[in-house]
Amino acid sequence: MDNKLLLIILDGVPWRNWERLFGNLEGWVDAGMAQKFRMRSVLPSISASCYASIHTGVTPQVHGCTGNGNVFRLEQPDIFSEVRKAGGVTGAVTHSFWSEFFNRAPFDYVRDIEYDEPESSTINHGRFHTMTGYGMANQMTPSDVDLFATLTMLCSKHRLNYGILHTCTLDSMGHRFFHESQEMDHACFVMDEMLAPFIPKWRAMGYEVMVTADHGQDARGHHGGRDPLQQEFALYYFGDAQASADVEVLHQLQLAPTVLSRLGAPIPETMKAEPFLS
């Protein structure tokens, strides 16, 4: 596999926050260096259910993850497994749910916190965090710059073809401070500034880059249901492909087959949605 792509998931960022607060990402769109799409999550618009759908391309009603309390090793083919079958190397810097869904469950803190498994049929290089003890007063999230740096390290050390990074910082901030607050404005601003220097670096290393969310949040910091604030978010794409159709709102199930098609990996027949780039 020659192609390379990084998927950056900023947890819980509603459509309106991207536009209002992510000046670097918006600036690259204005400069013609990125394309911006609107995307709608699956239902329920809950983190774990969305993570599972992002990578399998099937609905929660099919993969069976009904929420954060119901995490298990999924049965469907996913981005990691299909990249591996096509000869690519995979990596993940994410919440431990991703390891449980796509490699093994339950998560063993010592065995699974960090692994390099070149023969794995799914995740070759994993660096995880569990957020154990998470609550309103203590987010238990790592600094985002540490996560971006870890992904960059994996890319250069292990020549990943596909890497995913996921961070819960903004979801936790939204649950805590809601979306009409200085704290939330500042948190989005800091995220945009921390992420920005890495994007040209990753592009120079030969990666296409997608930056998006798993779901949005409404004014009270809630998500899970059908409200557009809860379900809709932006997706920024840095790469040479173009939108394959003029659609107002993409569906989250299109993400997995799109990533596989960009990497040149076959799309399994369980992923029925149309890729949105060509």
Residues in touch with Zn ion (CB under 5 A): 11-12, 47, 171, 214
186-217: b (≥16 Cβ within 10 Å) or e: ebbebbbebbbebbeebeeeebbbbbbbbbbb
CA geometry: angle at 38 spanning 33 and 44, to 5°? 140
CB of 12 to Zn ion, least distance (A): 5
Q: Is the dihedral of CA 5, 213, 92, 183 positive or negative?
A: positive
**In angstroms, what is the minimal distance from the CB of 46 to Zn ion?**
7
CB of 171 to Zn ion, least distance (A): 5
**What is the distance between the alpha carbons of residues 45 and 36, in angstroms, rounded to a whole number?**
21
Nearer to Zn ion, 22 or 28 (CB): 22
HEC string of 81-107 equals: HHHHHCCCCEEEEEEHHHHHHHCCCCC
Gyration radius of the chain over CA positions: 17
CB of 13 to Zn ion, least distance (A): 9
Selection from 180, 197, 202 nearest residue 14 by Cα: 180
Contact status, residue 47 vs residue 214, Cβ threshold 8 Å: yes
Nearer to Zn ion, 34 or 170 (CB): 170
Query: By beta-carbon distance, which residue lies closest to Zn ion?
Result: 47
Of 100 and 171, nearer to Zn ion (C-beta) is: 171
Please identify, using beta-carbon distances, which residue of 88 and 216 lies nearer to Zn ion: 216
Report, in Å, the least distance between residue 132 CB and Zn ion. 17
Choice between 171 and 208, CB closer to Zn ion: 171
